[in-house]
Structure 1
Amino acid sequence: MACSITNIGECVAEAVFGLILDILNSASRPFLDLIKKFLIEPVSVTAFVDIWAIIVYILSMFYGILIVWIGLKFIISGESPEQREKAKSDLKSIIIMMILVQGSYHLYDLFLAISASLTEVVFDMISNNFFRLSLESISNFGFDLIFGFIYILHLIIVLVLVLLRYIFVSAGVILFAIGVFFYFLPPLNQYGKLILNSLGVLIFLPFFYSIIFLIGSKISQLSQFNEMKTLIMVGTLDLIILSTVLLLLFVIFKAATKVKKVTNILK
């Protein structure tokens, strides 16, 4: 706005409002930087490499038992071609399982790198101005101010979610080896699927977050939404929080279903 003696009041108001928004932007910047860091950077699993090695060592003790068991099944199958083929198929599965369990650390690290790369590509498409509070209209300042505080509160909630996700995924390298081991054992297959599916969702969660951010960024650039940018930013964070909660409930429901299935089988 060009300032003159005729509109000095509006200029002063705009300067004051702009200063307040700058303060809010400065307050939100650390949260945004941390959220972006936890989403884009590959999760470090080096802190758990020793525990992973111990878990794999314990699991490897069962390799010989499983191979002997399959060998006995092959011997007692007699003339039954179906049983002999089943024993051969089980042996192949055990060999594949042994290879995957032993290489689970590097395989898990590869998945983390892929997720981080995909997320970074999408984040590069998001305008930096999308995350910055701006004064589109003096008449909407009260609206923007209220939602500015709500925006910072939402950033804190999202930061807690991505931090928890980072911790779980980092420790997940231990569960990944166990999940692979369980997956190839028929009695424990459902537990293995549950562990692997849950870890897969957590690993690639930042990619879906980045897509939601990208959609919000593109919508905020449309002319009809120019004066509702702050609302769109808050709505985007709401969508991320809501989708995370629903996803958590879905995983819990699936876990309960799979455990019930296994319990019924054992009965």
Structure 2
Amino acid sequence: MTGQWSTHGIELLADRVVKRFRPCTDGEPEREWRALTVLGQHCPDLAPAPLRADLAATPPTVVMARIPGTPLRGSAVTVDQANALAAALAQMYASVPGPVAERLPPRLWNEHHATRGIRTRHEQLRRTAPSRAVRHAVAEGMRWLDLAGRPPAGGPDLPAVLGQADGNLANFLWDGSKVRVVDFEDSGRSDRAYELAEVVEHVSAWVDSDLDIPHFLGLFDLAPAELRRLHESRRLFALLWLLVLALEDPARARNPAGTAEHQAARLLALLD
């Protein structure tokens, strides 16, 4: 979810990347370093190798190896790229042992955090004048959330995995045959269905890219509990993104005009 907010600065060097974090409240530098270390132990070559960290510095700094590849964001994602993206995520979910994943802190923007974010932004939206399409979709989304009683949650049928926790397609680098993953500052304990929901509902999947979502999701053999979790989590992320887009300052918009209305239609389709 961090695609809308900058929490760090990056220095790209020939052989390494230096990531300097701005003041953080949720342990983002520690999360980044922890995930890189875990993946370096269990799934090398999928993410940057961790080189050095000074988490007590001002600013906290994480240094990692620079890996090859071009971000998937910004173009039509080909079948080969979608297949490679699915393979990379499946490898990450399967490679980190369950007991290791269980000991991780919950990822940021988990279902409880996302629900709080939705309700806060809904109150903010009341003080604005969104379009009729946006108002209608938000009302339907909030009705769904209120009837659900609580956000979709994990359980014994949803094994813990290391969640990268930022589905922005810019975080997936294609080198011509393989996809590698970067940006783990929100990472933590999650489950496959929730992580996949974030990828396919991230605004980057459609606003300036084109990911074939049915094809991509069809590459995962999800159990019935995971399919239910996926469906409800997609609704949750779609509602959150609609509120984020509806509150975007037109003078400093990151997205094209009409993006919020397009997102409104996407949410209604998921609620149908």
TM-score normalized by structure 1?
0.25
Tell me which protein shows more strand as a share of its residues: 2
Tell me which protein shows more helix as a share of its residues: 1
TM-score normalized by structure 2?
0.24
